[in-house]
Structure 1
Amino acid sequence: MSDSAATSDGLLFLTDEQLRKGIEAMFFAYRGFTADPDRILEGMDYGRAHHRAIHFIHRSPGTTVSNLLAILGVTKQSLNRVLRSLIEDGLVRSDKGREDARERHLFLTEKGLLLERELSDAQRARMRAAYRAAGPQAVQGFRQVLEAMMDPEMRRQYNRLKEGGT
């Protein structure tokens, strides 16, 4: 069987070795994808949870804490710790809900927007270079693989974000 592992009828059969290589590539790609933001955040005593919160608050300004909990899949205690530091440091603003005062709506401040831009610029540069090197068909295939790996609820959340929702 060739390296592509495709058969004449279009079905894909992968060996355990090919799957292992894909898994390892994913681990190393993730390290590369997170390396630039990690370096930026290191001196601020922030980590990847802070980065993810900043990313999704930017992506959906006014998102609620409960929505962010669902997207990030972290505990309420963990998210509260992250949000507390981001709010105290002036990166995130938390507003009471208009219809339900118990709800908290999250927004990036100007300072938060600047940090988000620095973090996302670094990741976009890495993604842009990788996409250019791989070509359009590989980019589409890569997205399809990533979407197929998502659990159904994660895929629904992803599709809502893709469509501009929260």
Structure 2
Amino acid sequence: MSDLKTMANPLFLREDELRQGIELLFYAYRDFTRGPDEILDQYSFGRAHHRALHFIGGHAGITVAELLGILRITKQSLSRVLSALIEGGFVRQQQGTRDRRQRQLFLTEAGRNLERQISAVQQAKVAEAYREAGAEAVAGYRKVLAGLIDEPARAVILRSIQRR
């Protein structure tokens, strides 16, 4: 990895510095999602399916309403995604334990396997970048990512992530 410290400008809030950061984020996202996209293509799934698998896997029993709140997509879009995942045998739903109107979502064994396969690719990519950057840079990176989350939701999201 090229040494980004040499590229750092003490005037990091200037427009050109901000544009470079945004561009790096676009390229990083492109490469971060390439491996999972290749796996998902085998099932005719896309990134919305990946996000659903990720959050259902990390929050077994999550309700459809909670998943909608996390993903911030329309009910119609989530319905299409969940239908494909359920019909494919990757997700199962059951009636809520507290409220029978709710639908709770769980990964099946096939869903857990697919989610693990996708996660392994991304974890390897992140681990490599973390090793190259070092602990101090990783702490700064996490701070920047947290700062990109809208303020009203930030504390709740950070607590949720730290609990797991």
TM-score, reference length from structure 2: 0.91
Partner of 1:79: 78
How far the C-alpha of 1:4 sits from its partner, in A, is 3.5
How far the C-alpha of 1:157 sits from its partner, in A, is 4.2
1:7-156 alignment, distance < 5 Å: 13-156=12-155
**Residue type at the aligned position of 1:116:** E
How far the C-alpha of 1:152 sits from its partner, in A, is 2.0
Q: Give the conservation status (yes or no) of the 8 Å contact 1:71–1:154.
A: no
The share of aligned pairs that are identical, in percent, is 50
Q: Give the conservation status (yes or no) of the 8 Å contact 1:97–1:105.
A: yes
Q: Give the conservation status (yes or no) of the 8 Å contact 1:71–1:157.
A: no
Bigger proportion of residues as helix? 2
**Residues 65 and 55 from structure 1, CA distance in 2 versus in 1: closer, same or farther, beyond 3 angstroms?**
same
Runs of at least 5 residues in structure 1 that lack an aligned partner in the other structure: 7-11
Q: Secondary structure, in 3 states, of the residue corresponding to 2:139? A: helix
Whole-Å separation in 2 of the counterparts to 1:13 and 1:91: 45
Whole-Å separation in 1 of the counterparts to 2:43 and 2:14: 44
How far the C-alpha of 1:149 sits from its partner, in A, is 1.1
After superposing on structure 2, the runs of 4+ consecutive aligned residues of structure 1 that deviate more than 4 Å are: none
Whole-Å separation in 1 of the counterparts to 2:65 and 2:71: 10
**Residue type at the aligned position of 1:23:** I
**Residues 74 and 156 from structure 1, CA distance in 2 versus in 1: closer, same or farther, beyond 3 angstroms?**
farther
CA RMSD of aligned residues (A): 1.6
How far the C-alpha of 1:155 sits from its partner, in A, is 1.6
Whole-Å separation in 1 of the counterparts to 2:160 and 2:136: 23
Whole-Å separation in 2 of the counterparts to 1:67 and 1:130: 31
Runs of at least 5 residues in structure 2 that lack an aligned partner in the other structure: 1-5
